[in-house]
Amino acid sequence: QKGMMRPFHPKFPFIPVNNVSGEIVEVGSAVREFKVGDKVVSKLDFWTAGGLAEYVATSDKLTVARPAGISAADAAGVPVAGLTALQALKAIGTKFDGSGTSGGADVLITAASSGVGTYAVQLAKLGNHRVTATCGARNLGLVAGLGADEVLDYKTPEGAALSSPSGKKYDYIVNISNKNKWSVFKPRLSSHGRVVDVAPNFGNFVASVVTLFSRTKKLSLVSLKMSKEDLGLLLELMREGKLRTVVDSRHPFEKAADAWARSLSGHATGKVIVEM
Ligand SMILES: NC(=O)c1ccc[n+]([C@@H]2O[C@H](COP(=O)([O-])OP(=O)(O)OC[C@H]3O[C@@H](n4cnc5c(N)ncnc54)[C@H](OP(=O)(O)O)[C@@H]3O)[C@@H](O)[C@H]2O)c1
Ligand SMILES: *[C@@H]1O[C@H](CO)[C@@H](O)[C@H](O)[C@H]1NC(C)=O
Ligand SMILES: *[C@@H]1O[C@H](CO)[C@@H](O)[C@H](O)[C@H]1NC(C)=O
């Protein structure tokens, strides 16, 4: 690695930047799949990451080609936020084969304006689900534009209660917001409904264990796994114009600290991009 400059989170140095896209400048002798000049997207390995740099070293196993026509900025959101959204939807049985045969379910997606949420809404619609989504008032139009059938402002009483305008219950809740509680989710679930959490932590781990003993409503955790196949699927959907990255803001390398601040504010709409 060359030109590394504060590759890590300013307050939590153990959190590396790991969603990158760029062009290959050098390859190891054992690498067959890529050559110098290839445009790629990579999800850096957690332990060796540090993507806030002009040059990074990554493994071919974590890297996929970036199709022509997809900008580096659009592709940079795919490795973590897009993968998380895709894997959460796969966990509820969503199929993306375009056959239109996956049944479709009533799905609630919280924090639909977040980096993960903006991908999740689009992917849920591609998987034929009927989508209710929550976000702040300023993003109601954006989220409806991503395809959500119903959009709730999380600051209104109905939004806070996650109640569907049509009165329906949800078969699945993809929980992306960090504020919602099981006690709020439970009454909104259909009889065998399930909550899927994208960010495992102690609290929701305990909740998931407790619901193991429930014969009806359940909560489960999805933790991100690197998959070249999944990354490839996301980029293919982008290439076909079926999936897009919502970009909150772009920041030059010299102002990377502003990007961190924006990301940590909890009020970004879509992805925060640092350009080198
Ligand atoms: N990002 C990843 O790659 C990744 C990977 C795995 C897991 N996760 C998890 O996914 C979640 C989202 O992370 P993120 O970085 O994509 O976005 P984020 O910065 O956490 O999300 C910000 C967005 O969420 C909206 N929001 C905040 N509170 C909300 C609420 N109670 N209900 C509905 N919307 C709300 C905000 O709207 P307003 O500005 O209008 O308030 C803002 O648009 C986090 O829990 C994170 O731990 C993220
Ligand atoms: C990667 O992108 C995700 C999704 O938006 C974001 O939450 C996460 O903080 C990013 N990872 C790092 C460490 O930059
Ligand atoms: C929803 O996800 C957030 C963020 O990971 C977590 O803090 C919260 O406990 C989850 N809610 C439930 C009911 O699991």
Task: Decide: helix, strand or coil at residue 274.
Answer: strand
More confident residue, 4 or 81: 81
Question: How far apart, in whole angstroms, are the C-alpha atoms of residue 3 and residue 273?
Answer: 18
* Ligand 3 atom at minimum distance from 180 CA: 11
Domain that holds residue 208: 81-221
Per-residue pLDDT reduced to its tens digit, 10-46 = 555 555 557 788 899 999 999 999 999 999 988 887 7
Res. 180: pLDDT tops 70: yes
Residue-by-residue DSSP string for 142-210: HHHHTT-SEEEETTSHHHHTT--TT-PPEEEEEE--SS--HHHHGGGEEEEEEEEESS--HHHHHHHHH
Same domain, 90 and 169: yes
Averaged pLDDT for residues 225-254: 93
Residue 47 — pLDDT band, cuts 50, 70, 90? confident
CATH, residue 161: 3.40.50.720
Taking only the tens place, the pLDDT of each residue in 62-80 is 899 999 989 988 998 888 8
> Is the domain of 134 the same as that of 192?
yes
From CA 175, how far away is CA 204, in angstroms rounded? Answer: 11
Q: Assess if residue 237 is contained within a domain.
A: no
- How much distance in Å is there from the Cα of 175 to the middle of ligand 1? 10
Closest CA to 245 of 129, 54, 114, 91: 114
pLDDT band at 54; cut points 50, 70, 90 = confident
Strand positions, DSSP E, 3-72: 19-23, 39-43, 63-65
pLDDT of residue 19: 73
CA distances from 29 to 36, 59, 60, 66, 155 (A): 12, 12, 12, 22, 55
Stronger pLDDT, 109 or 260, i.e. the higher one: 109
- Whole-number Å distance, alpha carbon 44 to ligand 1 midpoint, is 21
7 to each of 1, 19, 26, 83, 274, how far by Cα in Å?
11, 12, 20, 22, 12
Selection from 58-67, 161-170, 207-216, 220-229 with the highest mean pLDDT: 161-170
Tell whether 266 is covered by a domain: yes
Mean pLDDT across the stretch 120-125? 97
Average pLDDT, the chain: 88
Residue 44 placed within a domain: yes
The answer to whether the CB of 113 is under 6 A from ligand 2 is no
Closest-CA residue, ligand 2 atom 6, reads 81
Q: Examine residue 145 and state whether it is found in any structural domain, yes or no.
A: yes
Pocket of ligand 3 (CB under 6 A): 175, 178, 180-182, 185, 195, 197, 199, 201, 203-204, 207, 219
Distance, CA of 225 to CA of 150 (rounded, Å): 30
Q: Which amino acid is at 124?
A: A
What is the mean predicted confidence (pLDDT) over 218-228? Answer: 89
pLDDT at site 5: 38
Does residue 253 sit within a domain? yes
Same domain, 134 and 207: yes
CA–centroid distance, residue 216 to ligand 3 (Å): 19
Q: Is residue 227 part of a domain?
A: no
Give, using CA atoms, the residue closest to atom 8 of ligand 3. Answer: 178
Handedness of CA 145, 94, 211, 202 (dihedral sign): negative
51 plus 179 within the same structural domain: no
Pair of tokens at residue 72: 């580096």
Same domain, 217 and 153: yes
